[in-house]
Amino acid sequence: MLRAARLIKHNAQNVSSPLSLSTIARSNRGMDRSFSTTGAKFAIPATSGFSGEVNRGESRPRFTGKVGDVVHGYQVKKIEPLPEKNSTIIRLEHKKTGAEHLHVDCADTNNVFSVVFKTIPKDSTGVAHILEHTTLCGSEKYPVRDPFFNMIKRSVNTFMNAWTASDHTSYPFSTQNKKDYNNLLSVYLDATFFPRLRHLDFLQEGHRFEFKEAEDSNSPLVYQGVVYNEMKGVLSEPSNVFHYTVDEHLFPTSETYKFNSGGDPLNIPDLTYENLKEFHARHYHPSNSRFYTYGDLPLSEHLQKIDEGVLSRFDKIDPNTSVRSEERWNSPRVVRITGPPSAMVINPKKQTKVLVTVLANPLDDAMEVNSLHILSTLLTDGPNSPFFKSLIEPNIGSDYCPGTGYSPYGKEASFGIGLQDIEEGDVERVRQIIDDTLRRVVDEGLDKKRIESVIHQIELSQKNVTTKYGMSILNGISSAWVHDSDVVDFLRVDKYISDLRKKLAEGPYFESLIEKYLINNPHKLTIIMNPDPTHAAQKADRERKKLDEIQKKLSESEKKEIIQQYKTLREHQESKKNDDVSCLPTLHVDQDVPRTLIKDYELQKEMEERVENGIFWNNQPTNGLVFYRSLISIPNLDTELLPYLPMFVSIMTQLGTKGMNFREFSSQSELYTGGISVSINHEMDHDNLKKCTGHLLFTSSCLERNIEKMFDLLKELLTGPRLNETQLLTTLLNQRATEMQEALVGDGHVFGRTYGSASVHRSARLSEIFGGFTQVSFLQNLAQEDDVQGLVEKLERIGKILLNRPIQKILVTGEEKSFPAVKRSLLSLIDTLPKKRTDNSNIGDPTETFQAEKTFFLVPGSVNYVTKSIPTVEWSSPDYVKLANPLHAEIREKGGAYGSGANSGTGVWSFYSYRDPNTKRTLDTFDKVADFASSEKCSESLVKEMKLSLFGSLDRPTPPSQKGLSEWLHNMTLDMRQKRRDQIFETDKEDLVEVSEKYLRREGSLVIFGSDRDLQLPGDASPEEVAALQEAHYSKNFPGWTVRHLETAQAGEMEEEEEE
């Protein structure tokens, strides 16, 4: 996507990558992937999940090499202890090829590998992105159609992925099992360095011509391809269009960053097969690679496998992939553009985005990079930040604009401040506010208490034990590493804090950074985007005209060639020869997966008369942190109040209390806790789909020295939340409405599954009310009201009902030595709460019955999200574990969808496609899904793969703070989990066939988010004409479907112009 912040991911798995120093530094809004590291300040405890392995964790053999030693072709360059992580960093260079290797030796059994290539595209054809896909379509050693997705089923990995950033491509995985690690390592190395890169794979993953009716040359010519369709979906989202355009104009002379590394659908068809192979030969060479390993497995074994399997076959070259710095400007610039409107809008007159962004620093100074991260937090995060006060609180717009904050992605970082959903006439006002606020901060200085609160958050993140620390390091260093920065400096957080305190003592340090980069920096871009309701239609018109011109010039032989190419590709996709995966390494369920669970926690229950179900104490190695959780039951609220409940829990901690205004409460929370949150927890009974319980879940954490402060704040919140701060409430309502509306286009498959499942059972219906399209529409209507007094009244009603109930049960996780102090403060909190017994916590309407529905949500975009939801069984049923997912090849490879899958939940099974260009074909595939698991097609190997996939999910590592949580929160005892485990082991082929016939042929609810690509709307059509054309088209082509329009406000057409 756009620079390293917008990664083009190869599959749907995600990994959190917290920022260097702290999760509190949200570097760039609108991007859910931010780079750098957090982790534990002591050895991460070994986790269960490896079977029959010794010498792991703290007992692992240490690396004995010294600087200068040569180990399996590598020369040891540096060995550096990292005491704050109880780790050692070993840096090596392969003598024959120059490949770099960075290894983090630690006790963590969740081992990580990645190879990172510096990929420097010179255009927007998406060559790096398409190459990332095609390398995973078979290799020299593993010549099967899709080794990557097949290995997901033959592994118990904790993470597998591949992604393309603006200037590098990464292939990471993680696993706890040593055999699994070596299996995946072999596949990844062969895939990246020795891919087959067949022309047919290029056509499938990249782009190709097809006729709309595949074998009818008189039907319209169209483009197809997985990446092509993915990027059409990406560029349907207004925020992504904005992001790409920012870099295009901020880096106008760049050889790389002004281009779209993911590929622009208008340019992707220009990429040739020869271009792809040439790009691989230069960029995927060991001399242009960086290897990363992490964990407790022996480094020498990694080096031997990499050298023998890959590096020994290459010689050193000059890949010529250096990136020159951007030419700096002498004066600021202004760019005005148009883009697609949002799927839904609150105020038709407020759809403009404005961002003031600068080209900041190169990523070669860890001190400055980390400080700018913190500065971003200080300026924009929370109600006490200067820009929240000047930009967000006045309700000029709904929220910060995408691109706000510090973005250290690429060779040089950017730093922006902006606002979205403003009136076009407010652009200059916003620009002036940004300038005035920066100058005021420099003149008056930043609040020293806020700086201390940020440092406190860093301390918390340093001590908090996570299970994704290895991936966090990789994500944190990649952007700087590919440009030869000393990345170890970025990991020395203790040293950074010490140096930061020295600089703060010397003078106004952060204020000097503001002056240097945000005020006196002439390389400053103001970009303004207004909505154009014809944006998508105009792009479609341009593409259609281009294709029509091409089709007119096709000779008969060329038309036959396109048809033959389609047939050849389809034969390739359906060939059984490509389905033989016996050459791929695999784990074996009976040998490599432990049969019996090991309990690594012990909940000690203490009855307390004022807490209905008692206090649970969980002694864990939390490194001086205390984690608090409690539940308050939700009664069966009036139906009219249910949609307000998500807003209530969202704003409860943000509006202050009777004793503290919202700024004071926020300040105290940052200084003394890791945050206080409230959420809704509702779930079905394990044995009864008609029984659903609901609770408010309160969570917080703190350092041991702040236990009393944390409970004082919880007491403030539970006894006197302030819910009538109308101006701030308006701001928070607009933010929440905007966030959910923006998610519609990008997460249509999630909304589709939620909506389609809503009629299956009570809990699914509540999920739709609380977080589905129903909630999006509800928030939009609320935000459009003239005032929020009605909202205040509903929130206060909910508060009187829910906060007049005792705590149902409490979980305290920490080190036993902290428990006496916790108990003193906890009992003080309990004394202030209601003591009456509560009624039951059943929630929802038990009389609801399943009704299959077909709903088409019209959403702007070029590709669709298609889902089907089928009613199944309760969690405790033996059938629950026996359903498989056979859709990938049918929908993704043959249909061209970017992703597909199946999602199993209590009582419901959902199929989905993601960024799908062939809606009707996918619907047919959903109808035939039971055939894919029929007795003729189902094999014992499929059953074994299903089991491995399930165990890979069940056996993921759990951090100390979350051990025992499943039993406490979900009443999921160890015996229940062991019983489920035994059921998985005992499942056979006949079971799979039986449940497929039993459930997958049931009628289900169908949902489509998107639009039918067969409907070609004229770019100059009026809203009335569009509505009439849509009505006629969908009535004819989707009979029996309910079509719901997401109204998009109309705006006048605007032309692009640039001012300098």
Enter the DSSP assignment of 217.
T
3-state secondary structure of 611: strand
DSSP H or E run through 991: helix 989-999
Exposure letters 739-752 (e unless 16+ CB within 10 A, then b) = ebbbbbbbbbbbbb
Q: Are 180 and 112 in contact (CB under 8 A)?
A: no
As annotated, the active-site residues are 132
3-state secondary structure of 792: helix
State how far the alpha carbon of 305 is from the alpha carbons of 71, 79, 105, in Å: 12, 21, 17
3-state secondary structure of 603: strand
Phi, psi of 721 (to 5 degrees): -65, 140
Which two tokens mark 112? 């990580």
Q: Are 164 and 3 in contact (CB under 8 A)?
A: no
User: Among 612, 73, 599, 619, which Cα is nearest to 312's?
Assistant: 73
Amino acid of residue 1028: A
Calculate the CA 435 to chain-centre distance: 33
Enter the DSSP assignment of 721.
B
3-state secondary structure of 356: strand
Could you give the CA distance from residue 32 to residue 408 in angstroms, rounded to a whole number? 14
Could you give the CA distance from residue 301 to residue 305 in angstroms, rounded to a whole number? 6
Q: Are 562 and 217 in contact (CB under 8 A)?
A: yes
Could you give the CA distance from residue 936 to residue 479 in angstroms, rounded to a whole number? 49
Could you give the CA distance from residue 1010 to residue 229 in angstroms, rounded to a whole number? 13
Question: How many Å is the Cα radius of gyration of the chain?
Answer: 28
User: Among 535, 515, 543, 494, which Cα is nearest to 366's?
Assistant: 494
Question: Which residues, in sequence order, are CB contacts of 195 under 8 Å at separation 6+?
Answer: 134, 135, 136, 137, 138, 139, 140, 280
3-state secondary structure of 188: helix
Could you give the CA distance from residue 28 to residue 243 in angstroms, rounded to a whole number? 11
3-state secondary structure of 963: coil
Could you give the CA distance from residue 903 to residue 908 in angstroms, rounded to a whole number? 8
How many Cα atoms within 13 Å fall on the side-chain side of residue 186?
Answer: 14
User: Among 689, 991, 630, which Cα is nearest to 849's?
Assistant: 689
3-state secondary structure of 725: coil
Q: Which residues pair with 224 in a beta bridge?
A: 208
